Amino acid sequence: MELKEFQLDAVKSLFEAMDKPARDIILKSPTGSGKTIILTYFMHQYIQSFPKTVFVWLTPGKGNLEEQSKAKMDKYIHASQTKLLSDVMTSGFEENDSCFINWEKLTKKGNNALKDSERTNFLEHIRHALNDGLRFVIIVDESHQNNTIKADEIIQYFHTDKIIRCSATPKGIARAEIIEIPEEDVIAAGLIKKLLVINQDFPQTVETEDQTAFLLEKALQKQRELRAAFLQRNTDINPLIVIQIPNKSETLQDGVERYLETQGLTYENGQLAVWLSDRHENLEGIDAPNAAVSAVIIKQAVATGWDCPRAHILVKLRDNMDETFEIQTIGRIRRMPEARHYECDLLDSCYLYTFDEKFTAGVKMALDKSALNACTIFLKNEYKNITLTSEQRTMVASSRDPQKALQAIAAYAEIEYGVTANKTENRTRLQAAGFELNENIVRHTFSGEAATLDFSSTDLNDIKVVEALSTHKHGREYHRTIGKIGLEISMEYSYMNTIIRKLFDKNFTCSRKILALEPRSVYAFVINNADRLRHMVREAMAYELAQLQLDLPKKSYYDFRIPQSCLFTYNGEAKTQLVMKKNVYQNYLSSAAPRSTPEVKFEKFCECSDSVEWWYKNGDKGNEYFSIVYTDNSNKQKLFYPDYLISVNGEIWIIETKGGFDRSGNSQDIDLYTPKKFGVLKAYLDEHGLKGGIVRNDATTDELCICMEHYSDDIQSDDWAILSDVL
């Protein structure tokens, strides 16, 4: 199991939250962010670092979630000590246990788990564990579904001082420590799709005798289109259609099954599956990328916890019933099947087909800019030969390579501490740099007199406290230290431990070994020098990045042409739906979304300007769009995608729009990199003999203004001109 950087950051935050006074920790993570991977990795690391700990993972009753979560931990964490409720009832709670328990088996009336019986009951098992000195840490999965008095009563029995509550939609818990994983980070990591497309290519007025057949036909067309696109990439993925019907709607279910049968999807040929409370068919292996099942019928109840990454399309049917919107339902189709983006709008989006207005409104409210109406629009013939030189950064892998990390740490030690192949000299050099090289554990305290609490200004004596090393006693501290060093640079424990061992343990082979310590001495070395090692590793990674950027060419070049077609997203509820005639695409609407206020004003300006012949709205991510390379303040390469290409009297201009100036002249631009982007845009324009600049709105006059030569954040300066005077 290899965690993404944002997942390791979440693990680090969980460790930090465990040291804070708040009892409740809320982990708010979008569906598809790998919450189970984050938590199981954290549990495994925490148990190894802190003895006498028992994790109790509580799940809602639907879908056997506790079994799924246990199976994932068994899969990801080798030799994990996991249990279900039945195991607890047999053997009780033991140190290092991770117990996965279904809420409803504890809270439902008539359940035997909490009744006195011939066996020791559940509450007695808790009491025995507490008497044995065990400490419970509770994880409440999908906590929004079980925030009840009865559930709280169960939690109280554990006498826990830490509760981790997990949900994509958490409800308020007073005085909680909140860890939120931004959806943008999950999308950037390629784990979930970039966009939810609602009712793609629907006409303005839908006339149909059978709404169910209309929606299913659209979904099947999209499924075939996706399947073909995957095969073109030599990727054998069969996109899955999820058909959600309301509860208690047997007639609607019959209609779905009959229509799908006319299209060749039946239970008998294995292309149709069903997952209802009283019926399961063709579900085995349904999550395999190339499984034969192309569609599955579900009801509301399966929305939580079901994980099938190839699910790509949701058909939400209605039956004149008022069902509440659940964001988890959309989460079922947002995962990327291979946990990566394909840089293709078709494959990097998921699709919803529904006539349910309340559901659509709920989706848009929950996902905001990620949920829009969409259609495919095509480039007008006269603009197909427009060409510009686009830039791409030299690609540096975002994930940390353990082998390169080891080499970087060794190189840093050679430069900063002067270490060589001579291990004896290296001991002296490290000691001179402040490293403690003692076979035992060394702590530090002080003695003396202090008149104030500002100890740093007094002459206190530094006292060494030496404790005999015990690998059994200090093993957990060693593990915890290695884990913290690794999380400092988003490196998993196992990789970080191997790096440390290769560099300092005599029994591990490495051509750039710094010290050759006995294995037990490595424990003392790591514990005694925890802060120095963290600093060394962190600085080495910065050094590695700088070297990578020195060794690689800054950027590469390729010919950019406006894409022949694009997935056009718009707000279908906007009152104005005018066709923008000067746009390079056919049927580009004035309700295009998402658009910032400056972009909306600029597009209207282009439409009304006599000198603007055509304009193109550039994308903001992907190789198919026009980009320029720049470096941020940490010298890291980034891509700048200017907002617009326009033609003014036969010349191509490149325009970037930004937040404007208020009536007092104060800047409303939230982009810290605007001056840097202006500089790189100006350099590109000069290099290629083009014109352009940055456009912002002046609220005092309600005029768009352009800056073309020297960037200024003062709208009153001569660097800003009224756009209509320039064009």
Confidence of residue 660 (pLDDT cuts 50, 70, 90): confident
pLDDT exceeds cutoff 70 at 93: yes
DSSP state for residue 460 in the 8-state scheme = P
- Mean pLDDT value of segment 581-601: 92
How confident is the model at residue 303, as a pLDDT? Answer: 45
Q: Residue 177's closest CA among 307, 373, 285, 23?
A: 23
| pLDDT for 154 beyond 70 | yes
Does the pLDDT value for residue 29 go beyond 90? no
Share of the chain above pLDDT 70, in %: 86
Position 454 pLDDT exceeds 70: no
d(C-alpha 498, C-alpha 401), whole Å: 13
Give the residue-averaged pLDDT of 13-31.
91
In this predicted structure, the answer to whether residue 457 has a pLDDT above a threshold of 90 is no
Nearest to 55 by CA among 5, 104, 95, 15: 95
CA gap 18, 25 in Å, rounded: 8
Q: What was the pLDDT predicted at 324? A: 52
* 13-22, 221-230, 349-358: least confidently modelled range: 349-358
Confidence of residue 652 (pLDDT cuts 50, 70, 90): very high
> In sequence order, what DSSP letters do the residues of 311-339 get, joined into one string?
EEEEEE---S--PPP-HHHHHTTTB-TTS
The number of angstroms, rounded, from the C-alpha of 55 to the middle of its chain's C-alpha atoms is 25
Per-residue pLDDT, 370: 60
CA distance linking residue 349 with residue 333, whole number of Å: 9
597 alpha carbon, distance to own chain's centre: 27
Q: Write the CB contacts of 442 (distance below 8 Å, at least 6 apart in sequence).
A: 436, 464, 465, 466, 467, 524, 528
Q: What confidence tens digit (pLDDT) does each residue in 384-438 have?
A: 999 999 998 765 544 567 888 898 899 999 999 999 999 999 999 999 999 999 9
| Residue 195: closest CA among 594, 531, 722 | 594
Indicate whether 301 pLDDT > 60.
Answer: no
Cα distance from N-terminal residue to C-terminal residue, the chain: 56
Strand partners, 178: 26
Whole-number mean pLDDT of the chain? Answer: 85
Query: Does the pLDDT of residue 455 top 70, yes or no?
Result: no
Is 627:639 a contact under the CB 8 Å cutoff? yes
Among the listed ranges 30-39, 119-128, 457-466, which one has the minimum average pLDDT value? 457-466
Q: Is the pLDDT of residue 200 over 70?
A: yes
- Report pTM: 0.69
Model confidence at 222: pLDDT above 80: yes
The region of weakest confidence among 391-395, 472-476, 505-509 is: 391-395
Decide if 568 contacts 374 (C-beta within 8 A): yes
Res. 668: pLDDT tops 90: no
- The backbone torsions φ and ψ at residue 291, rounded to the nearest 5 degrees and listed phi first, read -60, 150
Indicate whether 548 pLDDT > 60.
Answer: no
Given a contact cutoff of 8 angstroms between Cβ atoms, the answer to whether 243 and 263 are in contact is no
Query: Which position has the higher pLDDT, 37 or 546?
Result: 37
pLDDT at 2: 78
pLDDT band (50, 70, 90) for residue 118: very low
Cβ contact 499:409 at 8 Å: yes
d(CA 254, CA 474): 64
Tens of pLDDT, residue by residue over 344-373, are 889 999 999 988 877 776 666 666 556 667
Of residues 246 and 643, more confidently modeled = 643
Q: Which of 145-154, 314-323, 571-580, 639-648 has the lowest mean pLDDT?
A: 145-154
| pLDDT over 70 at 638, yes or no | yes
In whole angstroms, give the CA distance from residue 584 to residue 613: 10
Report residue 61's pLDDT band, with 50, 70 and 90 as the boundaries.
Answer: low
- Confidence tier at 160 by pLDDT (50, 70, 90): very high
pLDDT at 119: 47
Structure confidence at residue 174 (pLDDT): 67
Section 560-567 average pLDDT? 89
* pLDDT exceeds 80 at position 696: yes
Over residues 296-319, mean pLDDT: 78
pLDDT at 109: 59
On the question of pLDDT at 622 being above 90, the answer is no
CA distances from 309 to 216, 240, 350 (A): 21, 9, 11
> H or E element: which one contains 102?
strand 98-102
Q: How much of the chain, in percent, has pLDDT values that exceed 90?
A: 49
Residue 422's pLDDT is 94
Q: Reply yes or no on whether the pLDDT at 116 is more than 60.
A: no
- Give the pLDDT of residue 364: 65
